[in-house]
Amino acid sequence: MRTIAHWIDGKPFEGTGPATAPVTNPATGVVTGQVALADTADVRVAVAAAAAAFPGWRDTSLSRRTQILFRFRELLSERREKLAALITAEHGKVTPDALGEVTRGLEVVEFACGIPHLLKGGFTENASTKVDIFSIRQPLGPVAIISPFNFPAMVPMWFFPVAIAAGNTVVLKPSEKDPSASLWLARLWTEAGLPDGVFNVVQGAKAAVDGLLDDPDIKAVSFVGSTPVARYVYERGTAAGKRVQALGGAKNHMVVLPDADLDLAADAAVNAGFGSAGERCMAISVVVAVGEVADALVSRITERARTIRTGDGTRGTDMGPLVTREHRDRVVGYVAKGEAEGARVVLDGRGVEPDGAADGFWLGPTILDHVRPEMSVYTDEIFGPVLSIVRTTSYEEALALINANPYGNGTAIFTNDGGAARRFHTEVEVGMVGINVPIPVPMAYYSFGGWKSSLFGDSHAHGSDGVHFYTRTKAVTTRWLDPSHGGLNLGFPQND
């Protein structure tokens, strides 16, 4: 049985504790490895390596840092198929989707290659007589990244390229469900020439996370996962005096107005609802059909969803399995609950015949119509291939529904009315908005993040927010070539 270890100071580290967890191929149900679960002592080893590497990396010139980043970018681009295959083997998503994940991570690496420009400070000449002021942005120290199962490569890459480029050192704690991508990325960094100890990986679960949150050498924490854990990480991390950004769960609504192109909207709902088996934080889980559009829209969505081929992601199918048996069973449970609460199951994925092994964690595309806001299929994040349809009579009702929802990650509106679209993006209380775009994931040079219970903290990921999060500002006031400094004066400095 393959053992999936930690990566500390440029090499694998087995860990000191005996705890492990099984890693499974979701398309076969077969256990393919045992991942080490770090305890506090293991976390300390990783953080100590990151702390020891920090001064050297902080002082490494920007040209040298960017050379390493460019090399990492080249290696990642050349070998993206290898990383995608690893993702599919442990997460289950289909090969083109895994490749898409790698590409979106690569975009952040490319953004971080521009770090010399991003770190430029300000300079004011002669602010007071012969007094100049300049500001610089400096790295924080060792930072922790804690990531979820659903994007084992992309989510860590939302953060570590920017953190490393800015001069920090990193301890990544990936999801214990699909840990291999993180080790592959760690080896790639070493090959790209990153000094040992700048990028470390600790495998594990809650104990590893707590170890990072409590370690005084960790200066900042970037977390992505479910809302209850995000809230916990934010509260415990900030109580320990750390800078924390904690991205949480989602319930993303797609509004379809009566004037929308229904074919475009139906394609979008299916792609965004069932891509990656609904296990995306930007997946559409609720379609809000406004006015008389509902019947025609539901029949078009259902027609298309029926054609999706569910199966092993390596076999050219459209949609893979769910990540674990427990998660599949939980999602199936929601379909039954929705039915019992009065929703109409217009497409039932429970009887799906997959192109894959009998023991895979399958659930086919499922559509629930006539969902109401008080039903558990509406209130809870399901995180599976279950699309709910809520019918409203007006735009105002649709907007009020979204704004009353505790989550605020992504949303979309489908319409041909520019005025309505503008009103929507102004009025909606959600961090990322698509107009005729169902999954509005911002490019790396913008920042990614939700509002309300979808993000705790005030910094989104990557873009200018990422650079700010991983650096702190220093303002330096200087006086040179001025021997007549005015002598003794105990008054507060004033400018002249």
Residues that bind ligand NAD (CB under 6 A): 146-151, 155, 173, 175-176, 205-206, 209, 224-226, 229, 232, 247-250, 281, 381, 383, 409, 450, 454
Report in angstroms the alpha-carbon separations of 129 from 62, 68, 101, 487.
Answer: 32, 42, 54, 15
**Shorter beta-carbon distance to ligand NAD: residue 150 or 405:** 150
Count of residues making up the chain: 496
Minimum gap (Å) between residue 363 Cβ and ligand NAD: 16
Minimum gap (Å) between residue 286 Cβ and ligand NAD: 14
CA nearest neighbour of 179 among 441, 2, 44: 2
**Shorter beta-carbon distance to ligand NAD: residue 224 or 301:** 224
Q: Count Cβ atoms below 10 Å from residue 14 Cβ, excluding itself.
A: 10
Positions of E strands within 218-262:
220-224, 243-247, 252-256
Helix (H) or strand (E) holding 82: helix 80-91
Minimum gap (Å) between residue 230 Cβ and ligand NAD: 7
Question: Residues with Cβ < 8 Å from 152, sequence gap 6 or more?
Answer: 87, 90, 91, 174, 175, 178, 179, 180, 181, 182
CA nearest neighbour of 186 among 1, 3, 5, 54: 5
Minimum gap (Å) between residue 45 Cβ and ligand NAD: 19
CA distance 257 to 291: 7
CA distance 366 to 295: 17
Minimum gap (Å) between residue 342 Cβ and ligand NAD: 26
Minimum gap (Å) between residue 332 Cβ and ligand NAD: 17
Residue 86 · residue 184 · CB < 8 Å: yes
**Shorter beta-carbon distance to ligand NAD: residue 148 or 167:** 148
Active-site amino acid positions: 281
The DSSP-derived string for 133-198 is: EEEEEEE-SEEEEE--SS-TTHHHHHHHHHHHHTT-EEEEE--TTS-HHHHHHHHHHHHHTPPTTS
**Shorter beta-carbon distance to ligand NAD: residue 112 or 247:** 247
Question: Residues with Cβ < 8 Å from 196, sequence gap 6 or more?
Answer: 9, 10, 11, 49, 53, 190
Q: Count Cβ atoms below 10 Å from residue 434 Cβ, excluding itself.
A: 23
**Shorter beta-carbon distance to ligand NAD: residue 105 or 249:** 249
Minimum gap (Å) between residue 186 Cβ and ligand NAD: 16
**Shorter beta-carbon distance to ligand NAD: residue 302 or 453:** 453
**Shorter beta-carbon distance to ligand NAD: residue 80 or 173:** 173
Q: Count Cβ atoms below 10 Å from residue 120 Cβ, excluding itself.
A: 11
